[in-house]
Chain A
Amino acid sequence: MTAATEGRPSPGTGPAAGPLASARGLTKRYGVRHALAGIDLDVGPGVTGLLGRNGAGKTTLLRCLATDLDPGGGRLTVLGESPETSAGRTRIRRGIGHLPQNPVLYPHFTAFSLVDYIAVLKELGGRRARHDEVRRVLDAVGLYDRRHSRVRRLSGGMRQRLALACALLGEPRLLLLDEPTIGLDPEQRIRFRDLVSEFTRDRGAVLSTHQIEDVGALCSRVLVLDAGRLVFDGSPDELTGHARGRVWSAARRPRDAATAWRGPDGRYRVLTPEAADPPADAGEAHPVEPTLEDGYLLFTAERG
C-alpha cells in the first residue's frame, strides 16, 4: 500500500474471499443485438486473456466489469461487490484500474497534471502522497522524463503508456485492459508485458486484445468470446492443443481448409477442420507444430 492509498476505504473483500470478478448469465443488449448473451465466468489472480473477433463482446464485457455499463441481466460481482447500487459501483471503482479502448486524454494537460487529475478522481490523497504516486506510475511506464510535456506533444505510444499509468494509479487489485498494446513498438510491448506480469503477481488483470502473442506471453488463462458467448475457457496450452494434428505446411492451398495463408517461403500454412491425413489437394504437405494463433483461428473458423 502506498501512502496515497492509505486511509482509503478498502474495496471489496480480500483475495481469499473469492474470485476477483464473477458473472452468472450476464447479458447486455444494444437494441435487438445481444452484445453479451449469458456469460458465466470467474476471474482470479494472474492475467486472463480475452480473445474474439471485432464485435464479439470483449469491450462490452470489460466495460461491464469496469462499471462503465450496466448489464442488462444476470448477476455480476467485482471485488465482492455488486455494481447495481451507486455505493457498490464506487467501492468497485476504488479497487480497479481501467484502461479503455482508444483512450482519449486532455491534450492541453501535461503528462504529470493529467495523471494527477486522474489520481484526484481516484481519491488518492493528500497532495504530497498523491504526487509521489503519480511519479511512481510515470516511472513505471517510462514517462517520468516526459512529465512536463503536454499530452498533444506525446507520440501515440507514449499516450498509450500514459493511459496505462492512469490505470495503474492506486495499486488496483484488478486491472481491466482493453487493447493496451495498440501503438506500442516491440520494445514498449516487452516492457508492457514485464510491467503487467510484475503487477499481477498477487493481483488480477483481464486483457482484451487482438495481439495473440501478448496472450501467449502473459496469460495463464484464455477466454474466447464469439457473438456474445463464451466459447472457450482454458489455458493457452489447451487452446493451442485444439489445433494439434490440424496444422500443415503445404505446397498448395487446399479447397476444404478451415483457413490457409501463404508464407514468405512460398508454402501455405493450412489449418484443417478435422485432425486427419494431409489435405488431399494440397500437394506435398507435412504436419507442423501448432501455435496459440492456430488454435484461436481454428476456434473462430469453426464458428463461421
Chain B
Amino acid sequence: MTWHLTPRQLHDYARGRADEVAAMSAEAHIMSCSHCRSALPADESWLQASWADLRDIVDRPRRGPLERLLSAVGVAEDKARLLAATPRLYRAWLIATVTVLACALFAAHTVHGGALLFLYLAPVLPLAGVALAYGRRVDPAHAFTSTTPMGGQRLLFLRSLAVLVPAVALCAGAALLLPSFGPAWAPAAWLLPSLTLVAASLAFTRWMPLGVSSALLAGTWLIALGAAEAVRAWNTIHLFGPTAQLCWAVALAALLAAHPLARAGRA
C-alpha cells in the first residue's frame, strides 16, 4: 500500500462524519490496509454497546405473529409477551369456539328460530375461554407464575383479556352472518350478557377457582335457558330485550367496579 488515510479522514470516518463517498472509500481502504486499520481510533464504550446490542439481537426470543401484532397496535413489549404466551389449551378452546359458532350459524340458517341458539351459546364461549386461561389445573407452570408479582388477579385479568378479545371478535363475526331476525341490534344482543357472565366468573374467584366459577355460571345459564324453553313458561328472548340489556349493563358496571384491580386502582 503506497498511501494511507490522513488522521482527519480517519477521525471523520470513525465518528461517522464522512460523507457517503468518502466513507465507502475509507472502508474499502481500511479493509486492505493494516496500518490504517490499527490507526483507526477505537471507541471502547461504543464497541461494548455494539456487542451488547448484537448479543441481545441474537438472544432475543423470536416473536410470534400475535406478539408482533400486539406490539404493532401499541401494546407494551412486556404485556405483549404475556398476552401471547397463554397456555396451549387456548388453541383447543379456539378450535372448539369456531366449531360451536359454525354449528350455531348452520342451525340459525336451517332451523326455524335457530338464531336463538346462537344467542344462547355465544355468552358461554368466552366464559369457557376464560376458564382455560388461568389456574392450577389448566396452566402447567401455574406453581411458578402464581408466586410472581404479576401472578394472581393481574395475570388472571391479562389472560382473560387475551381470550376475551378473540372470543368477542369471533362471536361478532359470526353474528354478522346470522339471518335477519328481530330489530337491527338483535345480532349483538349476546354481547352484554357475555361480558357480564365473564365479569361474574372473575368476581367469584374470590371464593372459588376460576374453572369452578366459570362452569357454575355457564351451567346455570344453559340449564336455566334449556328449562325455560322446555316448559315454555317464559319467553327467553326477554333475556336479550332492551330492558334486560339495561340490567346486564348495570350488573356489568357493578361487577367491574367491585373487581379487586379496580378497587386497588381507586385505593
Question: Interface residues, chain A, CB within 8 Å of chain B?
Answer: 66-68, 86-87, 89-90, 93-94, 96, 98, 100-101, 103-106, 108-110, 112-113, 116-118, 120-123, 125-128, 130-132, 134-135, 147, 163, 166
Contact = CB atoms under 8 A, between A and B. Distances in A.
Interface string B93-127: 00000000000000000000000000000000000
Sorting the interface of chain B by its residue count into under 10, 10 to 19, 20 to 34 or 35 or more gives 20 to 34
A86 B150 contact: no
Contacts of A100: 143-144, 147
A67 B147 contact: yes
27 contacts: A66-B147, A68-B143, A86-B260, A86-B264, A89-B152, A90-B149, A90-B152, A94-B149, A98-B147, A106-B88, A106-B141, A108-B88, A112-B59, A112-B61, A113-B61, A116-B61, A117-B85, A118-B144, A118-B145, A118-B148, A120-B78, A121-B149, A121-B151, A122-B148, A126-B77, A163-B144, A166-B144
A118 B153 CA distance: 16
Contacts of A93: 147-149, 151
Contacts of B147: 66-68, 93, 96, 98, 100
A132 B52 CA distance: 9
B78 A131 contact: no
Contacts of A166: 144
B145 A121 contact: yes
Interface string B225-267: 0000000000000000000000000000000000010001000
Given A112-B59, A120-B78, A120-B82, A103 B143 contact: yes
B149 A103 contact: no
A131 B148 CA distance: 18
Contacts of A112: 59, 61
A93 B143 CA distance: 13
Interface in B134-189: 140-141, 143-153, 155
Contacts of B78: 120, 125, 127, 130
B56 interface: yes
Contacts of A108: 88
Contacts of A68: 143, 146-147
